[in-house]
Structure 1
Amino acid sequence: MASIKEYLNETANFNRRVEIITEFLNNSSIQLKELISLLEKLFDALKRSNNLINFLKNYSQTFETQMVKMGEELTTIKEKIIAYQTQLSFIEQITKQTRSSTDAIEENAHKFIKLARMITYLAENIEVKAYQARDEGKGLAVIARETYKVAKSSELLFRHFDELLEVIRKNVEPFSSEIDATIKDASASSKDLIDFLSSLKSVSESIELLKKFIRSIEKGSEIFSEVETKINERVKNIQKQLGDALYTVDEISIKSSEITNLSQILYEIYNIVNFQQNINKNPYVSKQLKYLLSENLRILKKINIGTSPSLLPQELLTELHYIINQVNKLYELILNNTGEVENLNSIMNKISGIKMDINQIFSNRSMIIDKIADFKKLLKEQLLIIENLIEVGSKIIAKLKTLAVFSKLEKSHSIQYKELIAPIITEFNQLLIRMTSSFNALESGVAELKTTLSRLDALYLQKDFVHLTLPDFSRIKIFYDDTLRVFETCFLNIKNLKGLINNLDKDNFLLKQHWNVYEEALFGVLNFQSYLQNLLSEKETVPYFVKSQNVFTINLFNDPVTLKPDLKTDATSQQVIVNYSTGLFQFGFGTGVIPGLCDEYTMSEDGREYNLHIREDLKYANGRKLHIEDIKAGILKGLNGPNRNLLEMIAGARDYLQSRDENLLWVKVLDQNRIKIKLEYPYLAFFSSFATNIADPYIDGELPVGIGPFKLLSWDRGKELILEANDFYYEGRPGIDILKFLITVDDDLGYELFKSGELSIYQPGLKFLQRVKQEFPELVITTPELSIQFLCFHCQKPPFNNKLVRQAISYGINVEKFVNDLLFERAIPAKGVFPPSMPVYNKRLGGYKYDPSRSRQLLSQAGFSAGLPDRYPLLVSDTVNSIRRAEFIKSNLNEIGVRVEINPLPWHDFLENCYKGNFLLCLQGWISDTGDPDNFLYPLFHTKSFGYTGNTFFFSNSEIDEMIDNARQIRNIKQRIKYYQEIEEKIIDEAPGVFLFHSLKTIVVRKGVRGFKPHPLSIIRAKYIQSIMSSGNREILSERLGSRFVTV
Structure 2
Amino acid sequence: MKTSKVKQLCAVALAATLGMSILVGCGSNKGGDKAAASKQEITYNLGADPRTLDPALCTDTTGTTVLANAFSGLAELDENEKAIPGQAEKWDVSDDKLTYTFHLKKDLKWSNGDPVKASDYEYEWKRLLNPETASEYAYALYYLKGGEAYNKGKGNADAVGVKATDDNTLVVTLEAPCPYFLELTAQSYYFPVDQKVVESNKDWANDAKTLVSNGPFKITNYTIKDSVVLEKNENYYDKDKVKLDKLNLKFVAEETSAWASYKSGQFDVVDTVPKSDVQGALKDGSAKSFPNLATYFLSINVSDKAKAVDPNAAKVLSDPKVRKALNLAIDRQSIVDNVTKAGQIPAHGIVGKGIIGPDGKDYTEKTTYFDPKGNVEEAKKLLAEAGYPDGQGLPTLQLLYNPESGHGDTMQAIQDMWKKIGVNAELQSQEWKVFLTTRVQKQFELARDGWNADYVDPMTFLDMFQSTSDQNNCGYNNPSYDALIDAAKKELDPQKRFDIMHQAEDMLMNDMPVIPLYYYTRTIGIKDYVKGARVSVMNTIYFKNAYVEGKK
TM-score, reference length from structure 1: 0.46
- Residue 944 of structure 1 is matched in structure 2 by 468
- Residue 975 of structure 1 is matched in structure 2 by 496
Please give the per-residue CA displacement for 1:509-553, whole angstroms capped at 9, x wherever unaligned: xxxxxxxxxxxxxxxxxxxxxxxxxxxxxxxxxxxxxx7852111
- Residue 901 of structure 1 is matched in structure 2 by 426
1:773 maps to a residue whose letter is L
- Residue 654 of structure 1 is matched in structure 2 by 148
- Residue 643 of structure 1 is matched in structure 2 by 137
Larger Rg: 1 or 2?
1
Secondary structure of the 2:190 match is: coil
Contact 2:51 2:433 in 1 (8 A): yes
Secondary structure of the 1:606 match is: coil
- Residue 821 of structure 1 is matched in structure 2 by 338
Unmatched 5+ residue regions in structure 1? Answer: 1-7, 17-256, 283-546, 1035-1048
Contact 2:48 2:404 in 1 (8 A): no
Distance change (3 Å), C-alpha of 1:270 and 1:619:
farther
TM-fit CA distance, 1:846: 2.8
Between the two proteins, the alignment pairs up a number of residues equal to 501
Contact 1:914 1:922 in 2 (8 A): yes
Secondary structure of the 1:882 match is: helix
Distance 1:268 1:996 in 2: 32
- Residue 760 of structure 1 is matched in structure 2 by 268
2:170 maps to a residue whose letter is I
Distance 2:461 2:493 in 1: 19
Q: Which moved more, 1:716-725 or 1:568-577?
A: 716-725
* 1:991 corresponds to 2:512: yes
- Residue 669 of structure 1 is matched in structure 2 by 164
* 1:732 corresponds to 2:239: yes
* 1:679 corresponds to 2:174: yes
TM-fit CA distance, 1:866: 4.6
Distance 2:222 2:325 in 1: 46
Distance 2:186 2:177 in 1: 17
Alignment of 1:569-580 (within 5 A): 569-580=59-70
Specify which of 251, 257, 261 is matched with residue 743 of structure 1: 251
1:613 maps to a residue whose letter is H
- Residue 865 of structure 1 is matched in structure 2 by 389
Please give the per-residue CA displacement for 1:968-1006, whole angstroms capped at 9, x wherever unaligned: 112232322222222212211111121000111112321
1:686 maps to a residue whose letter is F
TM-fit CA distance, 1:883: 1.6
- Residue 377 of structure 2 is matched in structure 1 by 853
Contact 1:611 1:674 in 2 (8 A): yes
1:877 maps to a residue whose letter is N
Specify which of 749, 773, 794 is matched with residue 282 of structure 2: 773
TM-fit CA distance, 1:591: 2.0
Distance change (3 Å), C-alpha of 1:801 and 1:560:
same
2:116 maps to a residue whose letter is L
Specify which of 348, 351, 366 is matched with residue 831 of structure 1: 348
Distance change (3 Å), C-alpha of 1:577 and 1:1012:
same
1:864 maps to a residue whose letter is Y
Distance change (3 Å), C-alpha of 1:712 and 1:591:
same
TM-fit CA distance, 1:281: 6.2
1:954 maps to a residue whose letter is G
Distance 1:631 1:724 in 2: 24
Contact 1:549 1:738 in 2 (8 A): no
Distance 2:382 2:439 in 1: 27
- Residue 790 of structure 1 is matched in structure 2 by 297
Contact 1:830 1:996 in 2 (8 A): yes
* 1:885 corresponds to 2:410: yes
Secondary structure of the 1:842 match is: helix
1:848 maps to a residue whose letter is F
Distance 2:150 2:282 in 1: 52
Contact 2:101 2:169 in 1 (8 A): yes
Please give the per-residue CA displacement for 1:628-666, whole angstroms capped at 9, x wherever unaligned: 211211211332421122210211113322156321112
Distance change (3 Å), C-alpha of 1:268 and 1:698:
farther
Secondary structure of the 1:694 match is: helix
Contact 1:584 1:690 in 2 (8 A): yes
Alignment of 1:231-270 (within 5 A): none
Contact 2:92 2:101 in 1 (8 A): yes
Secondary structure of the 2:468 match is: helix
Distance 1:638 1:271 in 2: 42
Specify which of 95, 107, 110 is matched with residue 620 of structure 1: 110
Contact 1:1008 1:1028 in 2 (8 A): yes
Secondary structure of the 2:341 match is: coil
Q: Which has the larger helix fraction?
A: 1
TM-fit CA distance, 1:268: 9.6
Contact 1:590 1:1016 in 2 (8 A): no
Alignment of 1:444-483 (within 5 A): none
Distance change (3 Å), C-alpha of 1:632 and 1:819:
same
* 1:808 corresponds to 2:325: yes
1:769 maps to a residue whose letter is V
Q: Which moved more, 1:679-688 or 1:838-847?
A: 838-847
Distance change (3 Å), C-alpha of 1:660 and 1:735:
farther
Distance 1:1007 1:666 in 2: 46
TM-fit CA distance, 1:270: 9.2
Distance 1:1006 1:548 in 2: 14
Alignment of 1:437-448 (within 5 A): none
1:559 maps to a residue whose letter is D
Distance change (3 Å), C-alpha of 1:965 and 1:882:
same
* 1:712 corresponds to 2:219: yes
Distance 1:705 1:931 in 2: 29
2:161 maps to a residue whose letter is W
TM-fit CA distance, 1:732: 1.4
Distance 1:935 1:788 in 2: 11
Contact 1:556 1:743 in 2 (8 A): yes
TM-fit CA distance, 1:712: 0.8
Alignment of 1:925-944 (within 5 A): 925-939=450-464, 941-944=465-468
Please give the per-residue CA displacement for 1:733-754, whole angstroms capped at 9, x wherever unaligned: 5210110112221222222222
Alignment of 1:429-440 (within 5 A): none
Distance 1:718 1:853 in 2: 46
TM-fit CA distance, 1:961: 0.8
Alignment of 1:490-569 (within 5 A): 550-569=40-59
Distance 1:713 1:575 in 2: 16
Contact 2:244 2:546 in 1 (8 A): yes
2:298 maps to a residue whose letter is L
TM-fit CA distance, 1:272: 3.3
TM-fit CA distance, 1:889: 1.0
Unmatched 5+ residue regions in structure 2? Answer: 1-9, 199-203, 304-313, 358-362
Q: Which has the larger strand fraction?
A: 2
TM-fit CA distance, 1:864: 2.0
TM-fit CA distance, 1:579: 0.6
Please give the per-residue CA displacement for 1:210-243, whole angstroms capped at 9, x wherever unaligned: xxxxxxxxxxxxxxxxxxxxxxxxxxxxxxxxxx
Contact 2:278 2:287 in 1 (8 A): no
- Residue 245 of structure 1 is matched in structure 2 by none
Distance 2:35 2:472 in 1: 49
Secondary structure of the 2:384 match is: helix
Secondary structure of the 1:966 match is: helix
- Residue 526 of structure 1 is matched in structure 2 by none
Secondary structure of the 2:123 match is: helix
Please give the per-residue CA displacement for 1:789-830, whole angstroms capped at 9, x wherever unaligned: 112111133211111111111111111112211111241100
Over aligned residues, Cα RMSD in angstroms? Answer: 2.5
Contact 2:25 2:530 in 1 (8 A): no
Distance change (3 Å), C-alpha of 1:615 and 1:828:
same
